Amino acid sequence: MPVTPTYPGVYIEEIPSGVRTITGVATAIATFIGQTLKGDVNTPVRIQSYAEYERHFGGLWVKSPLSYMVQQYFLNGGSDAIVIRVTGENAAPGTAGVSGVSLAAKNPGTWSNGLVASISAVDPSVANGDSSLFNLILSRKVEPSPIQRALGHAPDPIDLEVFRNVSTDVSSPRYVKKVVDQQSALATVLTVPTSPPEPTMSPIDFIGGIDGNTPTYSDYLGNADDQTGLYALEQADLFNLLCIPPRNLEEAVADSEEGLNLLRNALAYCEERRAMLLVDPPTTWRKPKPDAQNGVDSLGLRSQNAVIYFPRVKLPDPSREFRLEEFPPSGIMAGIYARTDVQRGVWKAPAGIDAVLSGVSQLSYNMTDKENGILNPLGVNCLRTFPVYGNIAWGARTLKGADALASEWKYVPVRRLALFLEESLYRGTKWVVFEPNDEPLWSQIRLNIGAFMNNLFRQGAFQGSSPTEAYFVKCDKETTTQNDIDLGIVNIVVGYAPLKPAEFVILKFQQIAGKIAT
């Protein structure tokens, strides 16, 4: 801050440089919406590994296509995901009553039916005369081994959560309802007795947990006002990819009109949030021609923020004796997007010989080059099997990428780079709000955005051999007129030359004529 000289000597004043570093946002946070074995309902939970998914949501479950899709996402290079659990009608949590303390499982589902609760007394030396204190233990039953079963022995439950020195006194800092509700991942307290609960002789079972009906696609969509289903993402700061699994592995979301309505609403939401929707092909698409060729336009999803891949993939199912089962490919492709972003950058197409479909044993249909040539001009990305390379992604177009549409957003990396720049600069220029709107501000804007764009240029994100050929940042009296200043507006124009994938490689050969003697 400015100094006020009052005595002879040297004064030091620190002057701000005006540099405000803009940091690029994440590019491959994938969101999955669907049914899981357990977990919070209509709440976006961010996870960084499949092990974390297992802890929060219960791992693989045959009734949950989402669980397989998340596993395939992390197997193919994904590292950051958001999972939203939805439930159908009649879903209910298990409950238990133990010595007057009424408990309910933290969330609905049959997962809670193996839980037990017990109460033990507090050591008198610790209680210090407080008769309201007790210990509450939440445990899980253990299945007996064949030998234990034959001998009639049951193993002791495994303690999962132990709450020591909790109290029935509402004024106590260890009031049991406050402690358990805030700290437990398993249960909440419904009612508390007025008198101290007696220690239990044996653990009390949680009963009544119900998974409920299979959620409908209306449940997946949810309600914007209540922030349920898809709109629970309003509680999430950022996501880049959206994958919607089907209700079961025998169908696809796009098979029904209800599912298509979900996809169309999800696409509109993705456009609003600067994200990409990965669409799975209907199960009726068995062959490129005529199924996929004639069916792509009927989906009603022609958008620069939507991508579709064909055909479906086959993987061993651990829940079904590792027999090959068909799965939708969007979870795998979301993982490939994440892997490509880390290895090369968001401007690299998630396709080619490096885009290997990890874990995939075979494709549901092996197409030829000519069949690929039918779908590619329509904006349908093909999954192919090639010798040596195996199963790979062999297409990088958005659903706006049909040749007939001649869209500037034809290619996935071009669109994703634009979304990355928009989101990064949207977040990185908020400091501009309420600053004095004149040349000093404009020069700071040019400096900060220019530094961000130059860093991307040096990483190879743009076309051109020099920064002037690759991008420009304009913010001055030409972009912001006096009338704009009077209205409180500052206009910033950012231009860039995106890289486009070499989709067609043409080799030209010519024989050299032998020397002709003259």
SS3 of 394-434:
CCCECCCCCHHHCCCCCEHHHHHHHHHHHHHHHHHCHHHCC
pLDDT of residue 466: 94
Q: Boundaries of CATH 3.40.50.11780 in the chain?
A: 30-88+215-414
Q: Count Cβ atoms within 10 A of the Cβ of residue 156 and give its class: 0-12 exposed, 13-18 middle, 19 or more buried.
A: exposed
Contacts of 188 (CB under 8 A, 6+ apart): 103, 104, 106, 180, 181
What percent of the chain has a predicted confidence (pLDDT) above 70?
A: 99
- Is the pLDDT at 517 greater than 70? The verdict is no
Alpha helices in 79-184 (DSSP H): 124-127, 146-151, 176-183
- Under a CB-based contact definition with an 8 Å cutoff, are residues 256 and 262 in contact? no
Architecture, CATH, for domain 30-88+215-414: 3-Layer(aba) Sandwich (3.40)
Report, as an integer, the average pLDDT of 357-385: 95
User: What CA dihedral angle connects 218, 220, 221 and 223, to 10 degrees?
Assistant: 90
Report, as an integer, the average pLDDT of 82-101: 95
Tens of pLDDT, residues 31-72: 999 999 999 999 999 999 999 999 999 999 999 999 999 999
Query: What's the 3-state SS for 120-143?
Result: ECCCHHHHCCCCCEEEEEEEECCC
Distance CA 456, CA 23 (A): 11
Tens of pLDDT, residues 239-263: 999 999 999 999 999 999 999 999 9
187-191 and 101-105 beta bridge pairing: antiparallel
Lowest mean pLDDT among 128-132, 308-312, 407-411, 511-515: 511-515
pLDDT of residue 16: 81
What percent of the chain has a predicted confidence (pLDDT) above 90?
A: 86
DSSP state, residue 276: E
Alpha helices in 323-481 (DSSP H): 330-343, 369-375, 412-428, 439-459, 467-470
Q: Can you tell me whether residue 61 is helix, strand or coil?
A: coil
Separation in Å, CA 366 to CA 374, 391, 408: 14, 10, 30
pLDDT of residue 147: 76
Q: Count Cβ atoms within 10 A of the Cβ of residue 415 and give its class: 0-12 exposed, 13-18 middle, 19 or more buried.
A: buried
Instruction: Give the amino acid at 486.
Output: D
- In 200-349, DSSP assigns E strands to 204-205, 241-243, 276-279, 306-310, 313-317, 323-327
- Is the pLDDT at 469 greater than 70? The verdict is yes
Q: Is the preceding peptide bond at 155 cis, omega within 30 degrees of 0? A: no
pLDDT-derived band at 4 (thresholds 50, 70, 90) equals confident
253 compared with 123, residue with greater pLDDT: 253
Report, as an integer, the average pLDDT of 106-129: 89
